[in-house]
Amino acid sequence: MKVLGVLGSPRIKGNSDILLDRALAGAGDSGAETEKIVLARKNISGCLDCRKCNETGVCAVKDDMLEIHEKILFADAVIHSVPVYFWSMTAQMKAYLDRWCALFDAKWQWQEQYIVRMLGKKIGLITVCGAPDVSITDPVVHCFKTLSDFTGMNWLGSVQASAAEKGEIEKNEDAGRMAFDLGKKAAS
Binding interface with ligand FMN (CB under 6 A): 9, 11, 14-17, 83-87, 128-131, 136, 163-164, 166
Query: Smallest distance, Å, CB 160 to ligand FMN?
Result: 11
| Nearer to ligand FMN (CB atom), residue 92 or residue 111 | 92
Instruction: Tell me the torsion sign for CA atoms 65, 68, 74, 77.
Output: negative
Contacts of 177 (CB under 8 A, 6+ apart): none
| Nearer to ligand FMN (CB atom), residue 71 or residue 166 | 166
Query: Smallest distance, Å, CB 158 to ligand FMN?
Result: 15
Nearest residue to ligand FMN by CB is: 14
| Nearer to ligand FMN (CB atom), residue 86 or residue 107 | 86
Query: Smallest distance, Å, CB 39 to ligand FMN?
Result: 12
Cα(31)–Cα(174) distance, integer angstroms: 23
Query: Smallest distance, Å, CB 35 to ligand FMN?
Result: 19
Contact 105, 111 (CB under 8 A): yes
Instruction: Tell me the torsion sign for CA atoms 171, 177, 178, 184.
Output: positive
Contact 74, 117 (CB under 8 A): yes
Contact 148, 155 (CB under 8 A): yes
Query: Smallest distance, Å, CB 18 to ligand FMN?
Result: 8
Contact 92, 64 (CB under 8 A): no
| Nearer to ligand FMN (CB atom), residue 83 or residue 124 | 83
| Nearer to ligand FMN (CB atom), residue 49 or residue 132 | 132
